[in-house]
Structure 1
Amino acid sequence: MKPNFIISLLSLFFVLLSSTTAWAQEKAVIKGQISLSNNDAADNVSVVLKGTKIGTVTDSQGFYEIKNITPGNYTIRISAVGHTTKEENITVNEGESLTRNFIIINNSEQLEEIFVKGNANKYTKSESSYVSKMSIKNLENSQVYSVVTKDLMKDQLVVNQDEALKNVPGLYQLWASTGRVGDGGSFFASRGFITQSLLRNGIAGKITNNVDASNLERLESIKGPSATLFGSLLTSYGGLINRVTKKPYDRFGGEISYQSGSYGLNRLTADVNTSLNDDDTALLRINAAYNNANTFQDYGHTRSYFFAPSFSYKVNDKLTISIDAELSNVDASSMSLIYIPFDATPSSLGLYDAKDIKMNWKRSFTGDEFMMNTKTSNIFAQANYEMSDKWKSQTVLSTSSNQSVGPQTWFYLSGNNQMSRNAWNINGRDNIIEFQQNFNGEFELFGMKHRTLAGGDIYRLESKSGFGYLSGDINNIFKSDYDVVDYSASNANYYNFNPKNVDALFVNGYQYKAITSLTTYSAYAADVINVTDKLIVSAALRFDHFQNDGTFNPAANTKTGNYSQNALSPKFGLVYQIVKDQVSIFGNYQNSFKNVGFTMADVGGTAQLKAFDPEKANQFEGGVKINAFSNKVSATFSYYNIEVKDIVRAGVLANTNIQDGNQTSKGFEAEITANPISGLNFIFGYAFNNSKLNNANANVNGLRPETAGPENLINYWISYSLQTSKFKGLGIGFGGNYADKTFIYNKNVVNATTNATENQTFTLPSYAVVNAAIYYDQPKYRLSIKVNNLTDELYFNGYTTINVQAPRTFMGSVAYKF
């Protein structure tokens, strides 16, 4: 580059900089502090100059500053959800620095999500209209739920949903996302039963990969059988996971961040919000993310794109409509999932614990990237209409489309430090559409206040799945090894197991394709009754008509498993507030069910095709909820007892079933969040679960199921940020998780030598993982550094597989706010 050109370019740069500086000096500044009526500072409050796109939000101490204001007359507007809006006319002179302080008052009549907590507990439970499909406070709700707030996710540099859910007491990840259509989302154990994240803003919102955190406002884990309000297809006996997404607001703002870390992590996110017209009735918010990272093994890679626009339009004072979308494209290689073969036992392998496997866990045992592509396209539309001061209508339409294409690998353990390498090819897609209508109202009857819900929905699923196997033998598709390797030694053929060599074998392997579809028609109603100011009784009932069209095999031209079934699911609750709005005791009865349908049954020693009744789960729970000291302490303590009856289990005759199984799951959960002093926040959770199969098959009768996860789980996170020094905004945080050992094999086995029955187990060892973070948070930027697995603990999760987790990793983030 020529010197004259460089000099000219630098001269132009300094001229522009000088001009900009001179221009800025002519502008004015407005600054001040927003406080709550109890003198606490109010963070994240919107401060705008009405009729313009100029504005900001307050920091954690309630301070705000708006720069570069053209002199003139303005109306400054202070607004926060759940608080009264304030406006004041001001005149701004050239070069002036104007100070304006405000106090805002909580509006107790508004029970939507209150984002403004002030200088209080930022990890606390938020009020939610999704948990009960109506606006009731946590202390009025007889159901237990945990909330992972956006502040907690921000302090922990969370990049995906699975990381965030480690903050939920009693929730244990059994299996990470595989990306497969049908079961691609991560599996979790909750209160002894498997559950997945299948809801978004209270309605179906399936994603078959790991949900990106860039569009998450918060996560809600709703505990216990919850089919009464959400249906059996989206919930489990242990509960459900609902992700709440970011919504547009009435000013220009947002954040752009870049994150980098160990193993090639590069992540870019953007959150941009704007009003589209002068009266702020049309609002748009866009969240997007790009993620590119390797795994900690020699082969393994993920690259993803995520785009989530959200638009809302206030048609008039009564009607508001919104349209949201989640669009993602993920290319990811499968982690090395290791199984105990279905025809093996721990004694036959000589292995009883994951730490007995003498493997270098940083070896993937693949010779290249086995990449699967997953595409998701979810669209949501909602209309909220105020029919009167007491009655509201909510109409929601959700569509979800997922597609998965590509190979996946897995390994089977065998004796003598050996394992087989296997692969299959996935090609499938599913489409889900759900229409839901809710009516919420309030009225008084016999002097008692009623809050009522009446609603219904239609849920339709259509799925096309395809699997390609290495073996051409239909009876041996899962035992078609590519080869067998010694995982403890060097392997000359280590790199032979790669997509090119495997693809050549798929051509002559067995191909399976199936088309399934089902529809559920549902109606439900709920009523929350204030018998007195402190005594609250609730009841709900759901009716489902379940229509399964069966599974169609195009090659065989056959359809199997089609059936229809009806089910009723009741729910009851009781709450008494010992101290009004601070301490309540509660109890609940909840019900859920699972449709079984037609299957071959053992009927009096004869094999017959039979339609089984739905399985039924009933939960009784009681406990205490606390929200005291102006929201500085929030806690829930509960004991539950879940019994599942009529479980379908294997019959005496080969390939038949009988329906008389039983599982009990009892436990205790505790969650505490607190802000004892200014700047100090912590969350602590403990869960104990005792699950047992009763009246089950001999090989599992009386044992803890492998799907139940650990008996004891602990989660915690503590953060502190300086409040008054010149380093205000500098904070540190640390926390982690503890889990008991868990079984991936727990069966009664007949000893071939002694002919005696003995219990054999294969366990994943207990672990204690510690993470730490440091951050510097300012109104316009945030700098963060985090270390995951600080002590470099070797640990695993799983329930049928052995899934090794990442070693110590570092990451850093730079965010610019506007």
Structure 2
Amino acid sequence: MKQKHTLLLLCSFLITSFLMAQSGKISGVITTSDGKPAPYITVAIRGTQQTSLSNEEGYYEIKNIKPGNWTLSVSAAEAAPQERAIVIAKGAMLTEHFVIKETARELDAVFVNARKSTEHASVSLRLKTSLLETPQNIQVVDQAALAQQQVISMSDGLVRNVSGATRVEHWGDLYANITARGSQIQAFRNGFNVVASYWGPLTEDMSFVDRVEFVKGPAGFMLANGDPSGLYNIVTKKPTGITKGEVNLTLGSFDLYRAGLDLDGSLSKDKKLLYRLNIAAQNRGSHRNFEYNNRYIIAPVISYQLDEKTKVTLEYNGQFAKMTEVGSYYIFSRSGYGTYPRNLTFTNPGLPPTRINDQSGYLTFEHAFNPNWKLTAQGSYFRYNQAGMSSWPSLMDSVTGHLIRNIGLWDAKSNMALGQVFLNGEFRTGTVRHRILAGVDAADKKYYADWGQSHDLDTLGALFDPENPGYGVPDNGYPVFDRSKPLEERAIAAGGIQTQRYSSIYVQDELAFFRERLRLTLAGRYTDVSQIYGTGTDFSKARHFTPRAGLSYSIDQTLSVYGLYDQAFIPQTGVLTNGGKLKPVTGNNMELGIKKNWFHNRWMTTLSVYRILKQNELTADPQSDPGAPTSIVLGEKVARGVELDIRGTILPGFTAMANYAFTEGLITKVAPGAAGLYTVGQIVPGYARHTSNAWFSYELQTGALQGLGLSGGVTSLIGRYTGWSIEGQQLPDYLKLDGGLFYTRDRYRFTLNVFNILDSYLYTGSYYEMPSIYGDWSQASLKPAYYYQTEPPRNIRFSVSYRF
């Protein structure tokens, strides 16, 4: 028996030796253009699963290659790929060296860019601690997700990538209005709070966006004053130091035509002067008749490396839009939600377009004193101009649902000057590591709007019939508005002034103990803010200190648990019915979570539970004089929930994103002045109790169809409450299914997606008491009106991109 085993082993050895003698081997060294070893470069035999990764010395080796003609491929993240034809003879040992065009410094930047979405926040979030060790739920949507899902603006389904994030009311593609944890979250761009009014800013076009960071809950390290539910931070594209470019074309349903160009490179031989230029243009129609949204975008960036420690970056973002009037997306019904065809519109051809110019400029100075200390100073100026109109019915027949369409003037402008200086540092006291963040923020924001003029398109004798709409010349003609006076003067008369000035100082220390496994964050921000609202007579001022304390513990290098207490506050304007001093809204956030990176950081998971308590919020006093309205203190609200985020690579070529959120918003205390109007336990509208999303993608790694992929996703909203009112019907559950194909070959990528595959009638909306009649105007009274916005039926989008 023993002899048989020995004989079998000998035969196996001889057969294996014979097969290995018939196969070949290839090896070599990969270097950068400046002669340095190039580590972590992928070398593959195309059409097979045989790959190798170069080591720290740039050496690679692939064994057991079948004899024949093959193509050897060399690639790394964003680095330019190379291919070379090779011939493997029986038993051959081939040597092939490669020189990539990137320098060692540029290659390092490539790997930093490739890792930053999963490991670190952007510079504009100010944090030096990795996302795994940061005691807060922070989610990042990167370029790969944006391209695969064909997201072209902030309102284009991007929120599916983040647990609990929804758009309660879409506002078309004008404003993002994203909600999470029970309230609308703040909009940031490159670390600046760009909220000048409730309605802004204009949705960012993805042509100049590198990534979007969602920070859940209060964020004292960024937020001076704002809603404690959180923020999203748009990080714009910057020069990488790698000479490359990309052009892309997109076609889609409802007359979508779009083109974009992304150029990245150096303007000097020493590569100290770098540039990035993104331009895009689109014509975009809608599933609703006569609705359109046309834009062009230009976003140049220049950076200059003064020396190894100092860099200056100058950036401009310009978005120029021409679209139908604000509110053209809404449908109004006396019977309920979703009662009319999806393509119905209440706008009218012949109305002039609304034009919006959204421009911003940034100047950033970065100086590293040494590897442990860095100073960042940046200033920004935002200028927003809107010349247009808004639409909203002025009267509805309570029996037939026929109505008078009203067009209101909406000219607006916003000027914002913002500045930040912050210092990141690290030092030790004994065995304790300190990571310091200290800085000052300041802003001066002015928003002026004239919505004081309006015009009815229809008359009592010729109401608009949604069931048999007519779109000829309106019975009452087209509006002619008076714009002879300066906008600032008109805004005073219309009550359309919103200004805010604030300054704040912030200090944070992250203390790390026990070989940095336990991290204690202690921080505080002091903010001084004043604002004017309405006609310019409503003035408020507040000074407030907001503390922050966080604890994070690394169970191992891939698993951490954390706890957080943080505060935020929102200044308020108005007049109290019973007099007295206004207090700011305060928000207290308590959060617990666990973060885990799996399989060498290929999977990332975050599970968090939170409770946000908001106090002192004002609400309108319904018993006050309509000519001089006053406010009362509501009491106390709570938002609480659970959030789970999962994303990463399951298998080679198979990536997945999935998230779930349970959200609940309730009134927990009612102030004496609000008794009878509100009750404890009453729902705070504007969220879905259960929000679920998923997106999966698989790309074939070998064979004749290598590069072909399949992707798809689903969004589910269960237990939806209306946007603003707790009255009326609760919205039905929401289910949307999307999917498509893509193909990557050499420098080309083709993407085809079908959205709303099930062709479901999807919408969001709320309840409104509209002036209504039955017979004549003297019978007018407030009656229920349901308003909603429909989403497109089944539609397709095709994109082709070429990288060079």
Check whether TM > 0.5. Answer: yes
| Partner Cα distance (2:474, 2:483) in 1 | 13
Matched, 1:544 2:544: no
Q: For 2:53 and 2:152, how far apart are their aligned partners in 1? A: 27
Q: Which deviations, in whole Å up to 9, do the C-alpha atoms of 1:495-540 show, x marking residues without a partner?
A: 3449962337999x99726444321011001111112221111011
Instruction: Pick closer, same or farther for the CA change 1:37–1:377 going to 2, 3 Å.
Output: closer
| 2:711 counterpart (733, 744, 748) | 733
> Is 2:183 the counterpart of 1:199?
no
In the alignment, the residues of structure 2 paired with residue 560 and residue 460 of structure 1 have an alpha-carbon distance, to the nearest angstrom, of 18
Q: Residue in 2 aligned with 1:615?
A: 585
1:715 aligns with: 693
Whole-angstrom distance in 2 between the partners of 1:613 and 1:298: 46
Q: Distance in 2 between matches of 1:360 and 1:248?
A: 47
Which residue of 328, 337, 340 maps to 1:336? 328
1:601 and 2:576 are equivalent in the alignment: yes
- Any idea what SS the aligned residue of 1:116 has? helix
* Partner amino acid, structure 1, of 2:295: S
Deviates more, 1:315-324 or 1:651-660: 651-660
Gaps of 5+ in 1: 1-28, 48-55, 86-103, 107-113, 342-348, 472-476, 554-558, 749-759
CA RMSD of aligned residues (A): 3.6
Q: Is the 8 A contact 1:30 1:66 kept in 2?
A: no
Following superposition, the deviation at residue 470 of structure 1 comes to 2.6
Deviation (angstroms), 1:727: 2.3
Superimposed CA distance per residue, residues 711-739 of structure 1 (whole angstroms, 9 cap, x where no aligned partner): 11111100000112232211110002111
Pairing of 1:150-549 with structure 2 (within 5 A): 150-163=143-156, 164-177=158-171, 185-196=175-186, 198-205=187-194, 208-227=201-220, 229-232=222-225, 235-334=226-325, 336-338=328-330, 349=334, 351=335, 353-355=336-338, 357=339, 359-368=340-349, 370=351, 371-411=353-393, 414-470=398-454, 484-488=463-467, 490-491=468-469, 493-497=470-474, 501-503=478-480, 512=494, 514-532=496-514, 533-548=516-531
For residue 408 of structure 1, report the CA deviation from its aligned partner: 2.0
Q: For the Cα contact (< 8 Å) 2:522–2:549, is it kept in 1?
A: yes
Quickly say closer, same or farther: Cα 1:424–1:661, change in 2 above 3 A: same
- Indicate if the aligned counterparts of 1:369 and 1:499 stay in contact, CA closer than 8 A: no
CA contact (8 A) 1:223 1:240 kept: yes
Change in CA separation of 1:460 and 1:316 when aligned onto 2, cut-off 3 Å: same
1:217 alignment partner AA? D
What is the CA–CA distance in structure 1 between the aligned matches of 2:523 and 2:712, rounded to whole Å? 41
Amino acid at match of 2:523: A
Structure-2-length-normalised TM-score? 0.79
Q: Contact 1:439/1:453 (CA < 8 Å) preserved in 2? A: yes
- Residues 774-789 of structure 1 mapped to structure 2, 5 A cutoff: 774-789=741-756
Q: Which amino acid aligns with 2:759?
A: D
> Match for residue 596 of structure 2?
626
CA contact (8 A) 2:266 2:273 kept: yes
Answer whether contact 1:42 1:61 (CA < 8 A) is retained.
no
Partner of 2:141: 148
Question: Relative to 1, partners in 2 of residues 1:541 and 1:60: Cα closer, same or farther, differing over 3 Å?
Answer: closer
The residue number in structure 2 matching 1:817 is 803
CA contact (8 A) 1:526 1:540 kept: yes
Deviates more, 1:418-427 or 1:310-319: 418-427
Conserved in 2, the CA contact under 8 Å of 1:717 and 1:734? yes
Larger deviation: 392-401 or 653-662?
A: 653-662
Structure 1 contact 366–498 (Cα < 8 Å) conserved = no
SS at match of 1:764: coil
Q: Counterpart in 2 of 1:111?
A: none
Q: Is the 8 A contact 1:540 1:571 kept in 2?
A: yes
Structure 1 pair 704/137, CA: closer, same or farther in 2 (3 Å)? farther
* Rounded Cα–Cα distance in structure 2 between residues aligned with 1:531 and 1:236: 33
One-letter amino acid of the structure 2 residue matched with residue 725 of structure 1:
G
Give the CA deviation at 1:741.
4.2
CA distance in 2, matches of 1:692, 1:339: 29
Which whole-Å CA distance do the structure 2 matches of 1:61 and 1:266 have between them?
Answer: 27
CA 1:647–1:139: 2 relative to 1, 3 Å: same
Q: Tell me which residue corresponds to 2:614.
A: 644
Number of aligned residue pairs: give it: 695
Residue type at the aligned position of 2:205:
D
TM-score of the aligned structures, taking structure 1 as reference length:
0.78
Further displaced range: 238-247 or 641-650 = 641-650
**C-alpha separation between the residues in 2 aligned to 1:545 and 1:676?**
48
Distance 1:57 1:663, change over 3 A: farther
Give per-residue Cα distances to partners, 1:132-153, cap 9 Å, x unaligned.
Answer: 5121111210010111111011
2:75 aligns with: 58
- 1:78 Cα shift? 4.6
Task: Pick closer, same or farther for the CA change 1:619–1:57 going to 2, 3 Å.
Answer: farther
Cα offset for 1:390?
1.8
Shift of 1:162: 1.9
2 CA distance for matches of 1:57 and 1:398? 41
Going from structure 1 to structure 2, the CA distance change for 1:583 and 1:613 (only over 3 Å counts) comes to same
Q: State the distance in 1 between where 2:521 and 2:460 align.
A: 56
> Which of these residues, 654, 663, 668, is aligned with residue 689 of structure 1?
663
Q: Take 1:541 and 1:31, find their aligned partners in 2: how far apart are those partners?
A: 46
Report how far residue 210 of structure 1 moved: 2.0
Whichever residue aligns with residue 115 of structure 1, its letter is N
Q: Does 1:575 align with 2:525?
A: no
Question: Cα deviation per residue 1:532-553 (whole Å; 9 max; x = unaligned)?
Answer: 22111101111011122x3585
Q: Tell me the amino acid that sits aligned with residue 808 of structure 1.
A: R
User: Over residues 665-714 of structure 1, what are the superposed CA-to-partner deviations in whole Å (9 max), with x where a residue is unaligned?
Assistant: 11000011131210000000000101112334444434655643111111
Task: Give 3-state SS (helix, strand or coil) of 2:269's partner.
Answer: coil
SS in 2 for 1:154: helix
| 1:58-77 matched pairs, under 5 angstroms | 58=75, 64-65=81-82, 76=100
Give distance in 1, aligned partners of 2:166 and 2:799: 27
> In structure 1, how many angstroms separate the alpha carbons of the residues matched to 2:527 and 2:120?
28
Q: Deviations over 1:589-632 (max 9, x none)?
A: 111111114x32233xxxx3x43111111011112100121012
Partner amino acid for 2:344? R
Q: Secondary structure at the match of 1:172?
A: coil
Deviations along 1:62-104, one digit per CA (max 9) or x if unpaired, are 8821799xxxx9975556889758xxxxxxxxxxxxxxxxxx9
Deviation per CA, 1:379-407: give whole Å up to 9, x if none.
Answer: 01100001233211000001100011112
Give 1:422 deviation, angstroms.
1.9
**What CA deviation, in whole Å up to 9, does each residue of 1:352-375 have, x standing for no partner?**
x413x2x12212133305421000
Contact 2:527 2:544 in 1 (8 A): yes
Whether the aligned pair in 2 keeps the contact of 1:422 and 1:480 (CA below 8 Å) is: no
Aligned to 2:638, which of 659, 664, 670?
664
Letter of the structure 1 residue corresponding to residue 714 of structure 2:
G
Q: Which runs of 5+ in 2 are unaligned?
A: 1-29, 44-50, 59-72, 86-96, 485-489, 768-786
Any conservation in 2 of the 1:41–1:62 contact (CA below 8 Å)? no
Indicate conservation of the 8 Å contact 1:422/1:482, yes or no: no
Letter in 1 for 2:582: F
State the distance in 1 between where 2:104 and 2:661 align.
35
**In structure 1, distance between residues paired with 2:322 and 2:126:** 36
